[in-house]
């Protein structure tokens, strides 16, 4: 009984703390950072090496649309829209953050933001054949909360899109412990062997060592179909193919 009451108290307390936190963020953003600025600090957490990876992907794949999960304040959304000149669709499940991002990005016509959960968002896009026919770059970053449904997000993409590149933020780089990551961001958590078997996906990691990346560095993984990797992956010098169980058969 005591445990139950504590759980209940924590639950409500957490909600109040989250609301206070959102209000503080909103006040700070509206006063100090009311519009997206295209500078070195913004986009991909300010990681210069990550930006090079993104640019190389744009150089080698004719990306026609970008889809992001987890907008937060829209800094990576704004960065990707500016660098690519293609439409960027992004979703954010927190209504305050979604409103803030909409406000900050209101002058950028190629961006469309939805107040939605990532799974519902991807499922909705997957029903639009114009969108699934496009070569899409996915940035999976809907990562705050108890459940991080990365595996499900990847499955929706891989079962519905013909050609795509997926980048996942906060991912463990297997042989470079200098890169930070979330507990959800590992090859084991996304069950890479089954993604390889079911969808022919290969995993690549930053070729840039963590001590050469902007500090503090967070890791990422890039998933591509085997055919896409054969066609373009080897030309992307900022990435290296993972030689473990994600290797093409």
Ligand X SMILES: C[S@@+](CC[C@H](N)C(=O)[O-])C[C@H]1O[C@@H](n2cnc3c(N)ncnc32)[C@H](O)[C@@H]1O
Residues at the contact surface with ligand X, assessed by CB under 6 A: 68-70, 72, 75-76, 91-94, 97, 117-118, 141-145
Least distance to ligand X, CB of residue 144, Å: 4
Which position has the token pair 């070195």? 40
Helix (H, G, I), strand (E, B) or coil at 239: strand
H runs (alpha helix) in the chain: 2-32, 48-60, 75-84, 95-104, 118-126, 129-132, 150-160, 192-199, 226-232
Least distance to ligand X, CB of residue 92, Å: 5
Least distance to ligand X, CB of residue 105, Å: 11
Q: Which is nearer to ligand X, 65 or 93 (CB)?
A: 93
HEC assignment per residue over 77-108 = HHHHHHHHCCEEEEECCCHHHHHHHHHHCCCC
Contacts of 134 (CB under 8 A, 6+ apart): 64, 65
How far apart are the C-alpha atoms of 205 and 238, rounded to whole Å?
8
Least distance to ligand X, CB of residue 149, Å: 7
Least distance to ligand X, CB of residue 32, Å: 16
Report CA-CA distances (Å) from 239 to 68, 69, 136, 205.
20, 22, 18, 5
Q: Which is nearer to ligand X, 88 or 239 (CB)?
A: 88
Half-sphere exposure (Cβ direction) of 65: Cα atoms closer than 13 Å: 16
How far apart are the C-alpha atoms of 115 and 93, rounded to whole Å?
5
Q: Which is nearer to ligand X, 76 or 204 (CB)?
A: 76
Q: Which is nearer to ligand X, 168 or 236 (CB)?
A: 168
Distance of CA 51 to the CA centre of its chain: 13
Q: Which is nearer to ligand X, 119 or 207 (CB)?
A: 119
Q: Which is nearer to ligand X, 6 or 35 (CB)?
A: 35
Q: Which is nearer to ligand X, 114 or 134 (CB)?
A: 114
DSSP conformational letter for 180: B
Least distance to ligand X, CB of residue 158, Å: 18
**Residue, CB closest to ligand X:** 70
Least distance to ligand X, CB of residue 145, Å: 5
């Amino acid at each position: 009984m005591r445990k139950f009451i504590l759980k209940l108290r924590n639950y409500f307390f957490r909600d109040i703390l989250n609301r206070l936190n959102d209000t503080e963020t909103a006040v700070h953003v509206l006063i100090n950072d009311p519009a997206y600025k295209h500078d070195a600090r913004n986009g991909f957490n300010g990681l210069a090496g990550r930006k090079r990876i993104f640019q190389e992907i744009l150089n080698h794949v004719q990306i026609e649309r970008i889809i992001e999960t987890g907008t937060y304040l829209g800094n990576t959304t704004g960065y990707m829209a500016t660098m690519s000149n293609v439409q960027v669709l992004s979703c954010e499940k927190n209504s305050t953050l979604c409103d803030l991002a909409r406000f900050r990005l209101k002058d950028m016509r190629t961006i469309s933001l939805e107040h939605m959960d990532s799974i519902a968002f991807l499922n909705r896009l997957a029903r639009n054949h114009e969108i699934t026919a496009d070569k899409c770059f996915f940035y999976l970053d809907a990562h705050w909360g108890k459940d991080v449904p990365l595996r499900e997000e990847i499955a929706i993409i891989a079962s519905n899109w013909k050609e795509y590149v997926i980048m996942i933020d906060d991912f463990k780089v297997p042989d470079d412990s200098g890169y930070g990551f979330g507990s959800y961001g590992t090859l084991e958590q996304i069950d890479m062997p089954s993604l390889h078997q079911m969808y022919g996906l290969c995993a690549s990691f930053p070729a840039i060592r963590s001590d050469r990346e902007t500090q503090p560095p967070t890791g990422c993984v890039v998933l591509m179909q085997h055919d896409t990797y054969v066609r373009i992956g080897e030309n992307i010098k900022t990435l290296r193919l993972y030689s473990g169980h994600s290797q093409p058969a």
